[in-house]
Chain A
Amino acid sequence: MNPPVVDIEQVNFSYASQTILEDINLRVAAGDFLGIIGPNGGGKSTLLKLILGILVPDRGRIRVFGEPPGKVHTRMGYVPQNVHQNLHFPIVAMDVVLMGRLNPRRLGRPFSRQDRDIAMACLEQVEMGGFAQRPMAQLSGGERQRVVIARALSAEPDILLLDEPTSSIDPHFEEDLFGILERLNQRMTLILVTHDIGVISRHVRSLACLNHTLICHPDGQITQGMLDATYRCPVDLIAHGLPHRVLPHHPEKE
């Protein structure tokens, strides 16, 4: 069997004195499409940032392709959560996608013809080929999301990490997005993080629940027991892909 693409052993992480992640163990096999669900503030984005090497764990060990994350960041693609940040920044779609072609070994040298061709091809992959010179400020939420995915792809990654890619996009694009992701999954490993249970369960191969601690379910099935353990409250399994918030039960107020 191939070694895991991502191998996390007994990782702890805290901000200031607040523990965000506790004793996380996770192995992601090559070609997997892992969905990680959990409530807001459960540490999902933090876990992705640990895998990317932007954050460093307090304890434990993380290996990506058998190496420390900092050594293999050029093989990882990242789709961050907030595509609405910096909305009025003067930048066109093409320049955003080209960011994926940045490489510390080519610091101080302009992008090559090849970089531009790859970036353009990635825009076409997400059906945004005609929008290359359009300012980001003039794109809709769904279009911006596509551009940000194209940016991650232009790095030609072997693993793609997506943070809440379905938040604040229209339901129509949601289906398109999973179509794109399923095609990508044929050639790369995917990890997708979301609080939207309804959407994810139909598309992923395996599933994990994260709320400070992580519970893995390799068969991709959500069970009521899993949700209750993760959200610590009864959660309706029938969500129809509608965005909803899961609030903890407050017995002390009753």
Chain B
Amino acid sequence: MEALQMEFVRNALWAGVLVSIACGIMGALVVVNRIVFISGGIAHAAYGGIGLAIYVGISPLLGATLFSVFIALLMGLFTFGNREGSDTVIGVMWAAGMGLGIILVDLTPGYHPDLMSYLFGSILAVSKIDLCFMALLDGLIVLVIVLFYKELLSFSYDDTFSATRGIPVRALHFLLLVLIALSVVMLIRIVGLILVIALLTIPASIAGQYTFSLKKMMQLGCILGAVFILLGLWLSYRFDMTSGATIVLVACAAYLLSSAGKTVALHLARRQRS
């Protein structure tokens, strides 16, 4: 408990709660739209933005934000109306972003010890400014969902039909990817860009196993995300392990347990009927 006396621990806890809102809401949209690969691509390509920021000497987080939004828009161009058929292009952008980041860091003189934190996260180094950025982003996400929930639901379920109703499906597609890019940047602080995809998919897909409404999937996803992050944080503190990786492993274990439980329950129900 004495850990709570320290500001960086309190900041970490706040960060965990704040990112879980983005996890739950955007995660649900990622899962039901089956754009996990696109989201992974944006997350990894964000490294290009970090490299670029270090090269020109601006804040890496600002670089990552601008660059991942740019990548999201570019991916939007290639994937609109062709969500499944653009695997290769996503893979190329995924790799190109990372490659660019590495080369730009090489070209910048000096040693950059904090680079690892962007790859694997550093929730214990979250600052007050980071927390403000996260709160602002959560506010934006919640606002968009409250305003456009029915359009996003419809677009996610059947974009062709939505288009016949005159819904701006193209704009929604880009909006979705930009919000994912911003969430990715936020999650990079917590678990690092390599593990972002875990927090963007696992809480939401576990939630999806227990509900038949996108709204409830988002709510449950938020709660699960917060539980995984806080539990992972405590375990990493208790056993002195890397926080980002511990959080992700907690989430993975929960996913495994939930899926196994679901399978067993289904099996028992079937046996009871016959």
Contacts and interface: CB of A to CB of B under 8 A. Distances in A.
Contacts of A74: 165-166
Given A54-B160, A100-B165, A104-B166, A90 B150 contact: no
B130 interface: no
Contacts of A95: 153, 213
Interface in B149-186: 150-151, 153-154, 156-158, 160-168
A73 B166 contact: yes
Contact of A104 (B150, B161, B168): B168
Nearest to B211: A90
Contacts of A90: 32, 208, 211-214, 216-217
Interface string A98-120: 11101110011011000000000
Interface string A181-217: 0000000000000000000000000000000000000
A200 B252 CA distance: 52
Contact of A92 (B160, B163, B212): B212
B151 A107 contact: yes
A194 B165 CA distance: 23
Contacts of B147: 108
Interface stretch (A35-43, A78-86, A123-131, A218-226): A78-86
Central interface residue in B147, B150, B211, by most chain A CB within 10 Å:
B150
Contacts of B162: 99, 102
Interface residues of B, number: 26
B148 interface: yes
B133 to A, nearest CB: 25
Given A99-B158, A102-B151, A108-B147, A92 B164 contact: no
Interface residues of A, number: 32
Interface in B1-51: 32
A96 interface: yes
Contacts of B165: 73-74, 99-100, 102-104, 155
B168 A73 contact: no
Contacts of A76: 164
A70 B137 CA distance: 35
Nearest to B165: A102
Nearest to B217: A90
A89 interface: yes
A92 B153 CA distance: 11
Given A52-B164, A74-B165, A104-B168, A89 B157 contact: yes
B158 A86 contact: yes
B213 A91 contact: yes
Contacts of A155: 165
A76 B165 CA distance: 9
A102 B155 CA distance: 11
A20 interface: no
15 contacts: A73-B166, A76-B164, A86-B157, A89-B32, A89-B156, A90-B208, A91-B153, A91-B212, A96-B157, A98-B150, A99-B161, A102-B151, A104-B166, A108-B147, A111-B150
Interface of A: 49, 52-54, 73-74, 76, 78, 80, 85-86, 88-92, 95-96, 98-100, 102-104, 107-108, 110-111, 135, 137, 151, 155
